[in-house]
Amino acid sequence: MRFDEDTICAIATPIGEGGIGIVRVSGPDALAIANKIVRLRSARPLESVASHTLHLADIVFSDSAPTGSGSECDGQIIDEGLVVYMSGARSFTAEDVVELQCHGSGVVLRRICEACLAAGARLAMPGEFTKRAFMNGRLDLSQAEAVLDTIRAKSEAGLRVAQRHLRGELSQHVDALRRRLLSMLAQVEAGIDFVEEDITFIGRTELVTSLQEALDQIQKMLVTAKVGRLLRDGARVVILGRPNVGKSSLLNAFLKEPRAIVTNIPGTTRDVLEEQVAWDGFRLTLVDTAGLRDSEDVVEQEGIRRTRAAASEADLLVHVMDATELLGQPAVTPLREDPGQEILVVNKIDLIDGSAAERLVETIGRVTGRETMSISVRTGFGLERLQEKMVSRLSKGSAESTDGLIVSNVRHRSALERAAGALSEALTSTEVNAEAECVAVDLRDAADALGEISGAITTDEVLSKIFSEFCIGK
């Protein structure tokens, strides 16, 4: 059943000047509407052209919507362009679609859109084309989300994840798991129905094994969620340390431009500065901060407060220190509990003797249990190695998991977490010989949570939320 009977139109390309721009029309009247505003140069009526073929045409604004063959309509020519009709059998929305490709001018595109509206179309809502594709069964929900992830991909790695989801690999995996849960549920429920006759359809031990297997699979997917988020949204790397150690110099070196002010006065940086870089297909936001120290200065105090706030949101801390300061007292307090989230960096290594530097780095590493590296922003020593280390820290786990599926979407992660929660409940109930009904309820919850990922189980509220994030025209 069609979820909507009206025909929608929208500008599908970004606003602004461009080589070409596209207006999309989709719905049962797409052809009839386009017919009113398109005059093919071949003088053929649009209805007569083969699906998925391009045709040169004048696109006109017809004030008096003509009846009969639109190809003969009068009206003011808006632009010339290429028109393609895609029949519902093979279109993105699974409805009849006409795309009008013209010159990429905001004026032209708006005018064409107005012409479509005058001819009977309605302006599409954000994501409505993709929503129709979902409603008409062309895509499942996780694939529809992958369309958005593709449009928004910030890095090649993020794009690769989105593309795998778009091809439906995630849903296939999750659906297979859901079918297994449903079949377990059927057996548990059958056991409930026949309890009087003392027939068991599935043994407790067998059920425990199956539940445990399913739970393991979900947990494996959840492990990929962290790296999935980094691939999708990029990672935040916060550079911090005491004043004057060379934090801003390091940021500038990474950016290859003098973005932050560098002076030999401690307390130069007062504010949090951030810039983005793409390293090895990864998107990183590098954040420079105010040096940490006790200060009476109100402005500096606020800067330090912001530094701490930035640090708490970091995926990775680059904790910079000054080699000359450390020589006297190599006391270093790590800032993060998790050693994986902090790299200790001894800067200004050019100012101390080579063997002293080696000993210093070794001592700090041993005492703190944190990976410690020496660099000199001044000479460039160690910068490349630091950069490689940062990327490998952030992508840890992705090398092995890129071959498997990566969960990159918060909604998917939360559904998987709920499924895992319900499954562990089911597992506990089974192990303690609880009523089969209890097991059944949890199994049902787990299967439903998995069903939310592909949209087999969904609510209007969830759908509106997902599609409202799309742009108009997609």
Site of interaction with ligand GTP (CB under 6 A): 243-249, 262-264, 266-269, 290-291, 347-348, 350-351, 376-378
9 contact, one of Mg ion, ligand GTP, none, CB 5-8 Å limit per kind: none
Residue 306's φ and ψ, nearest 5 degrees, are: -65, -35
Contact pick of 91, 142, 171, 248 for Mg ion (by CB under 5 A)? 248
Distance CA 262, CA 436 (A): 68
Minimum distance of ligand GTP from residue 283's CB (angstroms): 23
Give the three-class secondary structure for 392.
helix
Q: Which residue is nearest to ligand GTP (CB)?
A: 291
410 contact, one of Mg ion, ligand GTP, none, CB 5-8 Å limit per kind: none
Query: Among the candidate windows 33-41, 184-192, 261-269, 399-407, which touches Mg ion by CB under 5 A?
Result: 261-269
Distance CA 62, CA 383 (A): 64
Q: Which is nearer to ligand GTP, 106 or 267 (CB)?
A: 267
Instruction: Give yes or no for a contact between 253 and 277, defined as CB atoms under 8 angstroms apart.
Output: no
348 contact, one of ligand GTP, Mg ion, none, CB 5-8 Å limit per kind: ligand GTP
For residue 322, give the nearest of 349, 304, 302 by alpha carbon.
349
Pull the structure tokens for residue 296.
Answer: 């009476």
Strand-pair partners of 84: 54, 99
Instruction: Give yes or no for a contact between 219 and 420, defined as CB atoms under 8 angstroms apart.
Output: yes
Q: Which is nearer to ligand GTP, 238 or 436 (CB)?
A: 238
Minimum distance of Mg ion from residue 237's CB (angstroms): 15
- List CB contacts of 1: < 8 A, sequence separation 6 or more: none
Residue 91 touches Mg ion, criterion: CB under 5 A:
no
Q: Which is nearer to ligand GTP, 14 or 258 (CB)?
A: 258
| CA of residue 258 relative to chain centroid, distance | 31
Residue 347 touches Mg ion, criterion: CB under 5 A:
no
Q: Which is nearer to ligand GTP, 128 or 288 (CB)?
A: 288
Task: Give the orientation angle of helix 436-454 with respect to helix 169-193, to 10 degrees.
Answer: 160
249 contact, one of Mg ion, ligand GTP, none, CB 5-8 Å limit per kind: ligand GTP
What are the DSSP E strand ranges found in 134-191? none
Distance CA 113, CA 121 (A): 9
Distance CA 118, CA 103 (A): 21
Distance CA 243, CA 239 (A): 12
401 contact, one of ligand GTP, Mg ion, none, CB 5-8 Å limit per kind: none
By CB under 5 A, the count of residues binding Mg ion is 4
Q: Which is nearer to ligand GTP, 130 or 376 (CB)?
A: 376
Contact pick of 269, 307, 374, 430 for Mg ion (by CB under 5 A)? 269
Distance CA 147, CA 166 (A): 6
For residue 226, give the nearest of 235, 217, 218, 237 by alpha carbon.
235
Residue 247's φ and ψ, nearest 5 degrees, are: -65, -50
274 contact, one of Mg ion, ligand GTP, none, CB 5-8 Å limit per kind: none
- List CB contacts of 441: < 8 A, sequence separation 6 or more: none
Query: Among the candidate windows 76-84, 245-253, 313-321, 380-388, which touches Mg ion by CB under 5 A?
Result: 245-253
389 contact, one of ligand GTP, Mg ion, none, CB 5-8 Å limit per kind: none
286 contact, one of ligand GTP, Mg ion, none, CB 5-8 Å limit per kind: none
For residue 454, give the nearest of 178, 132, 233 by alpha carbon.
178
Q: Which is nearer to Mg ion, 168 or 267 (CB)?
A: 267
Q: In the chain, what is the greatest distance between 2 CA atoms, to the nearest angstrom?
A: 92
Q: Which is nearer to Mg ion, 58 or 302 (CB)?
A: 302
Instruction: Give yes or no for a contact between 292 and 240, defined as CB atoms under 8 angstroms apart.
Output: yes
Instruction: Give yes or no for a contact between 255 and 275, defined as CB atoms under 8 angstroms apart.
Output: yes
Q: Which is nearer to Mg ion, 247 or 348 (CB)?
A: 247
For 381, which DSSP code?
B
Query: Among the candidate windows 225-233, 242-250, 309-317, 402-410, which touches Mg ion by CB under 5 A?
Result: 242-250
Minimum distance of ligand GTP from residue 382's CB (angstroms): 9
Distance CA 444, CA 185 (A): 7
- List CB contacts of 421: < 8 A, sequence separation 6 or more: none
Q: Which is nearer to ligand GTP, 307 or 368 (CB)?
A: 307
Query: Among the candidate windows 184-192, 265-273, 328-336, 361-369, which touches Mg ion by CB under 5 A?
Result: 265-273
Q: Which is nearer to Mg ion, 175 or 288 (CB)?
A: 288
Minimum distance of ligand GTP from residue 354's CB (angstroms): 14
Minimum distance of ligand GTP from residue 245's CB (angstroms): 4
263 contact, one of Mg ion, ligand GTP, none, CB 5-8 Å limit per kind: ligand GTP
351 contact, one of ligand GTP, Mg ion, none, CB 5-8 Å limit per kind: ligand GTP
Contact residues toward Mg ion (CB under 5 A) are 247-248, 268-269
